[in-house]
Amino acid sequence: MRLDLILQKLEEMSPPEYAAEWDNSGLLVGRRDKDVATVYIALDATGEVVRDAMRAEADMILTHHPLIFGRLKKVNSEDFVGKRVLKLAARDMCLYAMHTNFDVMGMADAAADVLGLKQREVLEVTFEDDISKEGFGRCGRLPQIMSLDECAAYIKEKFEIEAVRVFGNGELEVERAAVLPGSGSSMIDEALARGAEVLITGDISHHDGIDAWERGLAVIDAGHYGLEKIFIPYMEEFLKRHFPTLRIIGDIPRSPFHMV
């Protein structure tokens, strides 16, 4: 199957125009007329992921985070990003990233579905017309009122996470929650404005966490990887449904760190 047919369906689901201006989503390596039989799905195009995709004889790697993010002035083996690009190009492998466009159209509702959020609304609206509002994160009501510590345990179970960091009184009862997979420090104001009692996200710094709690917003930091790894099963299901003849391989769970 030609790559451009696969990309057409992916971009119907998560249109590139929804990506943030600073983002670098899209086809980062390869050609659109490439014939694709096997797709390898991962959160990040790390060196290990690239090696595993090559061993699996994948024609395409589909990731959430872009391999090429900052300005890339040269592509050679002396640069750790360039080295991966060279390997992919040498094998005629394609790399496509669905980052902030998928955050808006895909990830936000997927995370809210995992939590069972009801009466949900967009946390930060980035696009609006006469039909809909779209944007980052979702805010809504949890399936039931629970203590903050019970909410933390609920998140660990639903997202299959080993541990989370909690800012706030564990006995506090919460019902209205905001969820933003990825890095959510910048969404504290939006969560407060939408009446959230707890913000579920990742990459919360010490100061952002204590300041949010001081302002009346509890925070559960489930990690950047912890919440966004749902990208892999989500895209596995999507591609199998729309392209049943493709061979789809989901990356094994590989947190970028471990707890000791």
- The Cα–Cα gap between 45 and 61 comes to 8
pLDDT of residue 130: 87
pLDDT of residue 72: 83
To the question of pTM greater than 0.75 for the whole model, the response is: yes
Coil, helix or strand at residue 219: strand
Task: Tell me the per-residue pLDDT of 101-111, one tens digit each, with 9 for 90 and over.
Answer: 999 999 999 99
Task: Tell me the per-residue pLDDT of 204-238, one tens digit each, with 9 for 90 and over.
Answer: 999 999 999 999 999 999 999 999 999 999 999 99
β partners of residue 133: 128
pLDDT of residue 12: 98
pLDDT of residue 70: 82
Residues of the chain with pLDDT under 50: none
β partners of residue 218: 198
Helix (H) or strand (E) run with residue 226 in it: helix 224-228
78: left (phi over 0), alpha (psi -120 to 50) or beta: alpha
Helix (H) or strand (E) run with residue 233 in it: helix 231-242
